[in-house]
């Protein structure tokens, strides 16, 4: 399937007459398809997977996908002659093509992992210098990775609604079944995903035309298609050199808030709104309501913090935009975060990126549902102290009633996941702090590590082609673990160390 995915950017590159990019994409597609057929042949007699097998398949499948997904970057960078690379650089620009950085295989792996996990951290220093085909591939990879490669495979390959398919679906996604048959659920998710992306595309084309009437329509069309894919997948890659800040327009900042917010809402929520016509879900859905309130309150608080610090020229505009970008884990950037004060950095880390958007969306972070559940659990424990010992109380959460034991179990699971998520962030922070260049602070290291782990993609400047390989490898692992919510990755590591059987440790 990845091989077929790589054909699409080849067509885009051909439209723009970027022939070496076409060759790179076609070669990558052929290599990937061949490798896939070999793997399929070797596993043709495999047994039906159990739950632990499904976790391993999903984790290893994503790892192989991102490794093979890095091939186009490496091949295009390697085969493109110097004059072709110079042709990608805008006239008058005083820099080289960023494709040169992809002659390093580790950078290719990093870029692919960032794309398919919808993170947005990048080895591309100057986006206009890599060609339209590569720019489209980065956005398209984020869009494909957003809804999930396993979900795409289940939707397209039609494996039925058997036990093994359900296990794979639950290992990558939320486990929510919208329809009795799994294939109907996966196709329903992709239909909703496509329709919202199409809406964002039209919305951005019209909005850009109205706000910037002199902006070339061809550029508007290309930007809007790519940004719609990057926004709905909360990936945050941009076709512009300074992300959305390139437009230098407050109205464009406002325009781009909606695609980020839409990307942070869950796909099952969109399915209920679009196909079941339940418009009341916009307020009844606990995660959507929580996100809307968080965007308003969190954006206002960050704007106040930046205003108090007096370090950015437009604290309200930058604070609101960056908070929405961080909490939705989109990663479009309009502010120089490297100059922010420590309170502003810590606030956006823990109030936005660490939490993330809705479970069932394309976002990273611990997810809004876990944050709300932990908050509900804390309030319940406090209230319980004032109740009689003989009182048996049921707890209402997200439309369900739970007994105390059930509530304890749910809160414990959410808290344990949140703890492991934070632990990996801290490990990444210390790796970053030890190997990062001079001029950055511990707060910068915390921000960058959280950005990778939560697949947000915002950066203080630590992430660039000159970063230490240890930091780069750490972020690759964090992006991978953050996208799959840690457990499948840990299951794969355990299998590699001691096998998949039920052995005593």
Residue 40 has pLDDT above 90, yes or no: no
Indicate the pLDDT class of residue 110, thresholds 50, 70 and 90: very high
Cα–Cα distance for residue pair 112/115, rounded to 1 Å? 5
Q: How far is CA 19 from each of CA 99, 313, 398, 450, rounded to the nearest angstrom? A: 15, 43, 53, 38
Identify the sign of the CA torsion 176, 182, 186, 189.
Answer: negative
Tokens of 101: 């950085």
pTM assigned to the model: 0.92
Task: Dump pLDDT digits (tens) for 471-503.
Answer: 999 999 999 999 988 888 988 888 888 765 544
Task: Dump pLDDT digits (tens) for 17-32.
Answer: 999 999 999 999 999 9
Residue 219 has pLDDT above 90, yes or no: yes
Q: What is the mean pLDDT of residues 136-140?
A: 96
3 state DSSP class of 252: helix
CB 504 within 8 A of CB 146: no
Beta bridge partners of 402: 395
Count helices and strands in the chain by DSSP H and E runs = 24, 2
pLDDT value for 362 = 86
> What average pLDDT does the chain have?
90
Q: In this predicted model, which residue has the larger pLDDT, 113 or 155?
A: 113
Q: Of 356, 311, 346, 365, nearest to 442 (Cα)?
A: 346
- For residue 467, the 8-state DSSP code is S
């Amino acid at each position: 399937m990845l091989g077929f995915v790589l054909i699409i950017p080849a067509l885009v590159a051909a439209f723009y007459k970027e022939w070496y990019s076409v060759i790179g994409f076609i070669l990558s597609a052929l290599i990937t398809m061949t490798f896939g057929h070999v793997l399929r042949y070797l596993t043709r007699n495999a047994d039906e997977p159990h739950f632990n097998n499904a976790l391993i398949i999903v984790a290893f499948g994503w790892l192989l996908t991102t490794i093979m997904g890095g091939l186009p970057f490496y091949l295009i960078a390697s085969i493109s002659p110097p004059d072709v690379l110079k042709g990608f650089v805008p006239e008058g620009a005083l820099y080289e093509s960023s494709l040169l950085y992809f002659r390093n295989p580790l950078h290719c792996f990093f870029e692919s992992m960032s794309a398919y996990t919808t993170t947005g951290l990048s080895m591309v220093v100057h986006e206009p210098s890599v060609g339209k085909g590569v720019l489209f591939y980065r956005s398209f990879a984020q869009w494909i990775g957003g809804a999930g490669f396993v979900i795409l495979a289940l939707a397209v390959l039609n494996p039925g609604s058997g036990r093994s398919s359900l296990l794979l679906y639950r290992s990558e996604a939320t486990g929510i079944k919208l329809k009795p048959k799994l294939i109907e659920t996966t196709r329903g998710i992709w239909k909703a995903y496509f329709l919202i992306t199409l809406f964002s595309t039209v919305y951005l084309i019209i909005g850009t035309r109205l706000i910037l009437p002199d902006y070339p329509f061809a550029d508007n069309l290309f930007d809007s298609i790519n940004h719609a894919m990057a926004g709905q997948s909360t990936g945050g890659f941009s076709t512009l050199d300074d992300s959305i800040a390139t437009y230098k327009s407050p109205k464009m900042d406002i325009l781009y808030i909606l695609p980020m917010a839409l990307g942070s809402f869950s796909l099952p929520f969109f399915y209920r709104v679009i196909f079941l016509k339940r418009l009341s879900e916009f307020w009844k859905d606990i995660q959507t309501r929580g996100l809307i309130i968080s965007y308003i309150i969190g954006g206002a608080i960050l704007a106040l913090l930046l205003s108090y610090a007096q370090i950015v020229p437009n604290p309200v505009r930058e604070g609101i935009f960056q908070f929405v970008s961080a909490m939705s884990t989109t990663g479009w950037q309009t502010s120089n975060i490297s100059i922010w004060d420590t309170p502003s950095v810590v606030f956006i880390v823990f109030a936005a990126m660490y939490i993330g958007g809705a479970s069932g969306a394309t976002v990273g972070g611990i997810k809004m549902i876990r944050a709300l559940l932990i908050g509900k659990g804390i309030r319940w424990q406090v209230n319980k102290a004032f109740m009689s010992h003989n009182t048996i109380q049921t707890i209402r959460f997200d439309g369900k009633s739970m007994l105390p034991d059930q509530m304890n179990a749910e809160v414990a699971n959410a808290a344990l996941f949140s703890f492991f998520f934070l632990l990996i962030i801290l490990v990444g922070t210390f790796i970053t702090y030890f190997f990062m260049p001079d001029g950055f602070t511990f707060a910068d290291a915390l921000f960058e590590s959280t950005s990778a782990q939560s697949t947000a993609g915002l950066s203080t400047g630590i992430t660039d082609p000159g970063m230490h390989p240890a930091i780069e490898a750490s972020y690759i692992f964090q992006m991978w673990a953050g996208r799959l919510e840690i457990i499948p990755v840990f299951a794969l590591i355990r299998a590699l160390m001691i096998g998949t059987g039920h052995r005593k440790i």
